[in-house]
Amino acid sequence: MKVAKLAVRAVLVGGLLVGAARAQSPGEQLPADPAHGYAQAQDAAASPSDAPGVASAESVGPSGRGVEPGVAVAESHWPSDLGGYYGSCPPHAGADEPFRIFGRHDSGIEVGGWISVGGYANQFGESRNGPLGFNTVGDGVNVHQLWGYMAKETETHGLGADWGARVDYVFGIDGPDTQAVGGTGWDSSWDTGRDYGSAIPQAYAEIAVNYLTVKAGYFFTPLGYERVEAPENFFYSHSYARYYVEPFTHTGALATYEGIEDWTFYGGWTTGWDAAWEMIGDSNMFLGGATYHLGDDLAVTYMTSAGQLDSLAAG
């Protein structure tokens, strides 16, 4: 009799264990509700976790999809007293995100900057590097860029409207090379000693509607491969073409359209090259081109700046 009771109990316990294992099987994972981002049942049958006295924990992944039962998912949001998010990384930052001291506020406004330091040593004690641009100081270690910016990017993802703006400030031995030229009083006299100086190379506003974005103000040129900003360049030095042939900045308006798959089109008007907030002489130019994206990491771009360019505006 005792043996029979033990056998019945063993069968009951085994059945409960099998039922529990089936409830936790990955094959029985509940699909996610696309409207709400959580797992929901497909029929009216109550799950074991709905029973009174049984605690239930719902696992939801960062993307809103349900995850395997028993797998913990942690999401960290760093709210500030202003209602935004600050910290070393923004919420949901990917592996390629840079380390940030100040993250982006949830309003979209971001404050950032960088420091670029480098130096030269000449065998014959020359203190200047001749005609090289941006790297004119030939002896010792120098601060090229102590850079700060405040920006808000437009983000419509092809639907709706948004606004943006940006202003940049730089101090260092790259400062005098980045200043506006052609007689303007914008920042051309902001030098500090022989080698150092300051500049405000960008100050513009943007408006975006669906796939169209229009930028107006004082902004960096889209022409060329090299950039003024140190983090955007692979090499420490710059080519002669970058310094003597290509523009650094434009004042005017530039429209960007991304409504056709794999294509980006540019078109706008500028007052020439490197003259901030001022039309010098008869400078009156078209700025535009197109980019075809061959893949995620490969694209072909053609850009042009054409029209009347006064010699003073060219520097």
Report the alpha-carbon distance of residue 95 to residue 74 in Å, rounded.
16
Q: Identify any residues that bridge with 84 across adjacent strands, giving them in sequence order.
A: none
Report the alpha-carbon distance of residue 239 to residue 303 in Å, rounded.
19
* DSSP code string of 175-221: HHHHS--SS--SSTT-EETTTEEEEEEEEEEEEEETTEEEEEEEEE-
Q: Please provide residue 291's backbone torsions phi and psi, each rounded to the nearest 5 degrees.
A: -130, 130
Nearest to 252 by CA among 219, 290, 280, 282: 219
What's the pLDDT score for residue 57? 44
What's the pLDDT score for residue 211? 97
**Using one digit for the tens of pLDDT, what is the confidence trace for 183-215?**
667 888 888 888 899 999 999 999 999 999 999
**Structure tokens given for 62:** 């960062």
Q: Using 50, 70 and 90 to split pLDDT, how confident is the model at 311?
A: low
**Using one digit for the tens of pLDDT, what is the confidence trace for 265-276?**
999 999 989 888
Q: Using 50, 70 and 90 to split pLDDT, how confident is the model at 313?
A: very low
Q: Which residues contact 135 (CB under 8 A, 6 or more apart)?
A: 118, 120, 129, 236, 237, 238
- Range scoring the smallest mean pLDDT among 26-35, 153-162, 251-260, 284-293: 26-35
pLDDT (average), residues 143-147 = 94
Please, what is the average pLDDT of the chain? 74
CB atoms within 10 A of CB 111: 15
Report the alpha-carbon distance of residue 117 to residue 147 in Å, rounded.
11
* DSSP code string of 48-99: GGGSTT------B-TTS-B--TT--------B-TTSSB-SSS-TT--TTPPP
What's the pLDDT score for residue 191? 87
Nearest to 66 by CA among 29, 95, 102, 35: 29
Q: Using 50, 70 and 90 to split pLDDT, how confident is the model at 162?
A: very high
Better-predicted residue by pLDDT, 39 or 94? 94
Report the alpha-carbon distance of residue 21 to residue 25 in Å, rounded.
6
pLDDT (average), residues 214-220 = 97
Based on the number of CB atoms within 10 Å of its own CB, is 273 exposed (0-12), middle (13-18) or buried (19 or more)? Answer: buried
What's the pLDDT score for residue 105? 66
User: Cβ distance 303 to 289 under 8 Å?
Assistant: yes
- Range scoring the smallest mean pLDDT among 3-7, 99-103, 159-163, 195-199: 3-7
Which amino acid, one-letter code, is at 171? Answer: F
Report the alpha-carbon distance of residue 270 to residue 248 in Å, rounded.
13
- Range scoring the smallest mean pLDDT among 63-67, 243-247, 299-303: 63-67
Going by their DSSP bridges, the two strands 161-172 and 196-209 should be labelled as: antiparallel
Considering the chain, what percentage of its residues have pLDDT values greater than 90? 36
**Using one digit for the tens of pLDDT, what is the confidence trace for 86-112?**
344 444 455 566 666 666 667 788 999
Q: Identify any residues that bridge with 142 across adjacent strands, giving them in sequence order.
A: 118
